[in-house]
Structure 1
Amino acid sequence: MVEAWAEKRVVISPDPTTLADSVAARLLNRVAKRLDSDALVHISLTGGTMGSAVLVAASRHPRRDRIDWSRVHFWWSDERFVPRADDDRNEKQARAALLDALDIPDANIHAIASSDDGVDLEGAAERYAAELARFAGEDGDWPSFDVCFLGVGPDAHIASLFPDRPEILITDRSTVPVRESPKPPPERVSVTRPVINSSQRVWMVLSGADKAAALGLALAGASYASVPAAGAKGRKRTVFFVDDAAAAQVPPELIDGEY
């Protein structure tokens, strides 16, 4: 069993605040390092409590203003199909937490269309797929994100790919409309698993005792159809950044104290 888990790292912080600060510092360090060798850096963001907390911590970090944000592009792994001003939008949360404080061109922020942008849900997914294709890498119809952030729900969903639903099995396109989501709001746009897994690094950030079972199943190599978090894998790194409460079911040998 340990061999099946060896490629995944678990990094534990004592509490959610320390977790957010730690991941934010790692993000800024990673972006700075990539900019030393690459012209552009692509980061995929996630929503949720911890997703926003990491961005708030990054906004407060002293290294924030030493990065050339004009060469950084931000994307989202999923979005709630609601009006642009709705507090449920991941874009709105990310802008308030970090993006509005950055010296970054508007063209570098690749938001998914909202319900008041004049397109339906299918059109929003198609528009986002076309935007991803504009920055396609050599081996796909989308960019390979340098870091793809993901939250993990208590049901082990990632992005808007929920357990035992058809969206998690789609591999022939980059985006998918999600209807009748088991978690409100009911309509969403999500990237598909191939987009996530073409990322260089997948960083899953989760906190709280209600996430412990999902984390345990993801580490145990459960079927991604029923445990979507088990199917997320970066090309170079797959890291679960968690707090003590979420790590309750993690075997000691899987904890990485050095990464």
Structure 2
Amino acid sequence: MMSEIHLYIDDSGSREPDKEPQQKRRDEMDYFALGGILINEEDIDELFTRHKEFCATHGITYPLHSWAIRGGRENFGWLKKPEAAHAFLGDLEKMLTSLPVLGIAAVIDRPGYVARYRDKYQDQLWFMCKTAYCILIERAAKYARSQSRQLRIFYERAGKAEDRDLIAYTRALKKEGMPFDGGNSAGYQSLTAEQFRETVRGEPRGRTKATPMMQIADLFLYPMAKGGYDPSYRPYRVLMESKRLIDAHLPAEAVATLGIKYSCFDRIKDKGPVEPSL
């Protein structure tokens, strides 16, 4: 039996394609993202140990949560004190960049998605989540195959309907392959249904934020999303420089088809070839 590589998936941003944000951001971020980390099964104990040591050092008995940490909110309200934030964030950066993981994600710019697909999908713009998930799983599966491993998928539970959707999308990939227009996706060398069945083991398994790997996935996902809008964003830049993101392990010409996917970013900047559409 082949060794496994595990993919831990979190989500970030709004799943509703055309829901107006509460406030406009100066950095123009308005996105939906699925992604997190890839980790070899034999490296999971190391992640557990480093996560436990970090939390013990800072007296943390609750999950690490990117949103709360960034804003000094909820359990992390104490981070509003500059001296506390400086020590904590420095140690957090060291911990994240030392972990044996790779960040991977599919990030969709919501206004760009609506502009591109409103006429085609009209009242079915909900395909945005399916688009992100299928792209993410295919790229993770391609990486697993390059490492002669099988892929096991774990996702953070979001709700019964959302969880059922992810399982259904996975079943469809194994039965029918990628759900994109064949002509538009020809240059992407999509995996076949048979290759998905060979590579993806079983069905996705739900986990909660109490799982350390889910917390790390959460902490990786926001910098990857933000990096699509601002590549100079320090957490994104640090993860790239420490080779903790899949893009750092790919030749430049392969990033567009195998790396972190920035979809419908036409209004922000040219991110490479137009991705396939459903």
Settle same-fold status: TM greater than 0.5.
Answer: no
Q: TM-score, normalised by structure 1?
A: 0.30
Bigger radius of gyration among the two:
2
Higher relative contact order (CA 8 A, sep 6+): 2
Quick check: which one's helix share is greater?
A: 2
Q: TM-score, normalised by structure 2?
A: 0.29
